[in-house]
Amino acid sequence: MKPAIKDLMDDHQIILRMLRALNGMCLRIGAGESVPAGDVAAALDFIKVFADYAHHGKEEDLLFPAMEAAGFPRGGGPIAVMLMEHEQGRAYVKSLAAALERVRAGEAAALKDLARSASGYSALLSAHIGKEDNILYPMAMDAIPEAGWAAMKKEFDRVEAERMGPKHRAAYIELVDRLTAAYPAPELVRPAGGMCH
């Protein structure tokens, strides 16, 4: 396996663990139990910075352009589907953030919206990760010339360091460890599925 692809797949394992914690929070909310807003905010920060800004940034700014150069169209096929799902995820994150603000303002009914957005995001992203791990990344490894992989891994490292800022990877892993321990949930099922709906 290419080190750059291993890097992305390692990110996926950390993200899936956070999605389980998020599902655990939703189960608590659904059972009428309280979840500290700070824990939801910490999960939201992880999603925005680790999962979207850094991880999706590595894909959108580096992997997908390399795939385009190898002949994959950006406006159709697997890259278009992944980009569309990234945008759907961002919409869920936006609604999750809005619901969290309403919860913090004391609006009890916003808890249901928070749980609905978190559940929708978890379902979308777990299926998305399955598509990338099982379909997209093998396609990329077959198509991108060998010479491009070492440079891509160096660029991945640079993007991650720049985009995670003072919160580096280890701090986010500690957060995931804490939240998965605090909010246990059943393991997410990731359908391998096709690239299209």
Number of neighbours of residue 39 by Cβ within 10 angstroms: 18
Give the H/E segment covering residue 112: helix 110-131
Residue 188 scores a pLDDT above 70: no
Q: Which amino acid is at 83?
A: L
Residue 125 scores a pLDDT above 80: yes
For the chain, the first-to-last Cα distance in angstroms comes to 28
Give the start-to-end residue ranges of the domains of the chain.
3-182
pLDDT at 192: 39
65-109 pLDDT tens trace: 999 999 999 988 999 999 999 999 999 999 999 998 998 888 888
pLDDT at 104: 86
Q: pTM score, two decimals? A: 0.90
Instruction: Tell the CATH topology of 3-182.
Output: Four Helix Bundle (Hemerythrin (Met), subunit A) (1.20.120)
Residue 166 scores a pLDDT above 80: no
3-state helix, strand, coil in the chain (%, to 5): 80, 0, 20
